[in-house]
Amino acid sequence: MKKFSKHWSGSIKPKKQRKYSANLPMHLRKKLVSVNLSKELRKKHGRRNVPARKGDTVRIMRGKFKKKQGKITEIKLKTGKIIIEGIQIKKQSGEKANVPMKASKIQIIELDLGDKKRLKSQIGKENKQMKKHEGKKEDAP
């Protein structure tokens, strides 16, 4: 496997984009599994999306299971899929199997805030950026 390059800034070529995402280390792969927040949570936390975590309650927005809700039970970073409690199909043999969902097809309706630092650190970074933008706008005549 090719070593991950920290200096990769982007490419137009799809082949290189796929290669980059396939070779991502796990700590960066987590960012690819970001999920949109509901309108209420967006207003409350001042963010559009957050990385998914086990225990978050989500609503499915697309596909066969549209409008169904459940808690996240597992996140598969290698494939970028999320397993949701209660979202299952019946196999030919009669067994039930979990259906992996893409992060882009679900929306968080309730965050698991057991970890107090989860949103605090991210919101702090955004507030600093907002203040920088406000300062630049005020300087202009």
Segment 29-75, tens digit of pLDDT: 998 999 999 999 999 888 899 999 999 999 999 999 999 999 999 99
pLDDT score at 1: 60
Q: Which helix (H) or strand (E) holds 17?
A: helix 14-22
pLDDT score at 134: 64
Nearest to 123 by CA among 19, 44, 31: 44
Q: Which domains does the chain have, with CATH numbers?
A: 15-131 (2.30.30.30)
Q: Which helix (H) or strand (E) holds 109?
A: strand 106-110
pLDDT score at 125: 59
pLDDT score at 113: 85
Alpha-carbon Rg for the chain in angstroms: 19
Cα distance between residue 16 and residue 31, in whole Å: 19
Looking at the predicted structure, is the pLDDT value of residue 98 above 90? Answer: yes
Looking at the predicted structure, is the pLDDT value of residue 138 above 60? Answer: no
